[in-house]
Chains A and B, each alone.
Chain A
Amino acid sequence: MTKLTVVELKLLTREPGAIFSLLIPLFILVVFGSSIEPGDTVLLPMALAIAVGLVGLYMLPTTMATYRERGILRRLSTTPVRPGNLLVVQLILQLVLALTACGLLLAVGGTVLGAHLPTRVLSGVLTFLLGTAAMFAVGLLIAALAPNGRAANGIGVLLYFPMAYLAGLMQPTDQMPDILARIGEYTPLGAFRQSMQDVWAGGAPSPLLLGVMAAYAVVISIAAARFFRWE
């Protein structure tokens, strides 16, 4: 398991997509961050949602579907190691990638740009975990349904834009049609951004939205597990 993790980590660092997942949200943060007021509570939650969305919808499904397409999971099942180990290692590493992306955003946002950092750390961590779980579940479902890596990549990118729009990542929710903003709040990414914003504003995230994310994580994961094929 250790060696598998080390090798998979090396492979991840060689993946251009991983670097993009780190840099794109950071780029957006820096571009828009130059015009924020000190103590801003909106931009960082948005950037975090973009980062988690990219990893969950783009990196995770593409990697997993490619592994199946290339027969790597099948090849592994002829060794004493279970192919499930590879999936577990991948999930952990993608989580580490999401954490790294968010850590980078917090570091840059909190220092250079002077954005607000929340004091409710525990609520923030809980929101991050639930939101990431929900997005990873969507990613796993894509990986389960896509016939190959390219298709997974395409589906991920196609899904990203409507989800990001509904989540209020393309334009602020108060400029969106009311109905779309309301619906968007109950999408996985929207619930994540709204909850993060609540944390940033110093309040507690709405239990309803936390529940929504948890429900997405559980239901969609079950669907993904049902549809997943090893080959």
Chain B
Amino acid sequence: MAVIEVTDLRKRYADLTVLDGVSFSVEEGEIFGILGPNGTGKTTTVECVEGLRRPDGGSIKVLGLDPVKDGRKLREQIGVQLQHTQLPENIKVWEALDLYASFYAKPRNWRELLEEWGLADKRNARFGKLSGGQKQRLFIALALVGNPRVAFLDELTAGLDPQARRTTWELIKRVRASGVTVVLVSHFMDEVEELCDRVAVFDRGTIVAIDTPAGLVDGIDAEHQMRFTLMAGDMVELGGLPGVTGVTRTGSRVVVTGRGDFATAVTAELARHHVLVSDLRIDKRTLDDAFVALTGRSFDATH
């Protein structure tokens, strides 16, 4: 069942077109990624879906509700973590959770959330004294305190150190496991690859592809390489294998270039002829490659 259905969404600011016909749907219980460089309409899209902004055209249904007309009813059932929002410096962790719980008709027990999100020992700490990771965990806990069916998380690991990002990812998986549908806005490829069941790739106000992260990577047919060092046995002819586009050999070092899943064919062929190799490396194709293939430009250069 689709919990979010967006059809032909359009939004302009003055003479700048921000969204130019965006359509996608999010299924119940999945982590749906919204990926793209900054300024491609990701946040605007999510804000329209949350009912914070009024679209100029197209239709949006979230849990069967219109975010503009049934805003109040919808906000009972969604949880939101916004980019660039803070709490008052002097509010204590438990006060923030207790306060936000009071906004909803059927909130979760915030004491459980304190435990779940590892904030129990920070219960009486003031917001201003929390570390970046602790603040982020509090924001996610606040997004969940209303017991939502859909949680929107916008750039949730921006500004966190690698360790804290990993921890946050594990926690997001737990959110999905508890049955909450998650919409994750991100401009981090690794995050989306790690967490998302499906991804919509945004570029210049439109969606250029929607697929699983693996599907997106497979969908692009970019050349990539595998390398190895010959240990024992004579080198066999690899050039004729499906997908292989080139083989170069320098002493015992071999580099095979190809498309698709040629590496499996190569390793099978080597094994069949009892050729022993060491130091085998296959360049992993990533979402970065997929993005370049889809948009014709590099992801990183755009922000």
Identify the A interface with B (CB < 8 A): 3-4, 7, 10-11, 14-15, 66-67, 70-72, 74-75, 77-81
Contacts of A81 in B (CB 8 A): 103
Interface membership of chain B positions 118-160, coded 1 if the CB is closer than 8 angstroms to chain A and 0 otherwise = 0000000000000000000000000000100000000000000
Interface membership of chain B positions 51-81, coded 1 if the CB is closer than 8 angstroms to chain A and 0 otherwise = 0100000000000000000001001101010
- Are B72 and A80 in contact (CB-based, < 8 A)? yes
Residue from A7, A11, A67, A78 whose CB has the most chain B CB atoms within 10 Å: A78
- Are B95 and A10 in contact (CB-based, < 8 A)? yes
- Are B52 and A70 in contact (CB-based, < 8 A)? no
Contacts of A67 in B (CB 8 A): 88
Evaluate whether A79 and B90 lie within 8 angstroms (CB atoms) in the complex, with A4-B99, A7-B99, A71-B82 already known: no
B98 CB–A CB distance under 8 Å: yes
- A4: nearest residue on chain B (CB-CB)? B99
What 7 A-B pairs have minimum CB-CB distances, sorted nearest first?
A: A71-B85, A78-B80, A70-B86, A3-B102, A14-B90, A79-B103, A81-B103
Contacts of B100 in A (CB 8 A): 79
- Are B86 and A7 in contact (CB-based, < 8 A)? no
- Which of B88, B99, B105 touches A70 (beta carbons < 8 Å)? B88
30 contacts between A and B (CB under 8 A): A3-B98, A3-B99, A3-B102, A4-B102, A7-B95, A10-B95, A11-B90, A11-B91, A15-B90, A66-B88, A70-B85, A70-B88, A71-B82, A71-B84, A71-B86, A72-B85, A72-B86, A72-B88, A74-B82, A75-B80, A75-B82, A77-B52, A78-B52, A78-B80, A78-B82, A79-B100, A80-B76, A80-B103, A80-B105, A81-B103
**Least Cβ–Cβ distance between B168 and chain A, in angstroms:** 19
How many angstroms from the CA of A80 to the CA of B100 in the assembled complex?
Answer: 10
B104 CB–A CB distance under 8 Å: yes
Contacts of B103 in A (CB 8 A): 79-81
B50 CB–A CB distance under 8 Å: yes
Contacts of A74 in B (CB 8 A): 52, 82, 85
How many angstroms from the CA of A3 to the CA of B91 in the assembled complex?
Answer: 13
How many angstroms from the CA of A124 to the CA of B72 in the assembled complex?
Answer: 43
B87 CB–A CB distance under 8 Å: yes
Contacts of B76 in A (CB 8 A): 80
Evaluate whether A78 and B50 lie within 8 angstroms (CB atoms) in the complex, with A3-B102, A4-B102, A10-B95 already known: yes
Contacts of A79 in B (CB 8 A): 75, 100, 103-104, 146
- Are B75 and A72 in contact (CB-based, < 8 A)? no
**Least Cβ–Cβ distance between A61 and chain B, in angstroms:** 16
Contacts of A75 in B (CB 8 A): 80, 82, 85
- A77: nearest residue on chain B (CB-CB)? B52
Contacts of B99 in A (CB 8 A): 3-4, 7
Contacts of A4 in B (CB 8 A): 99, 102
- B88: nearest residue on chain A (CB-CB)? A11
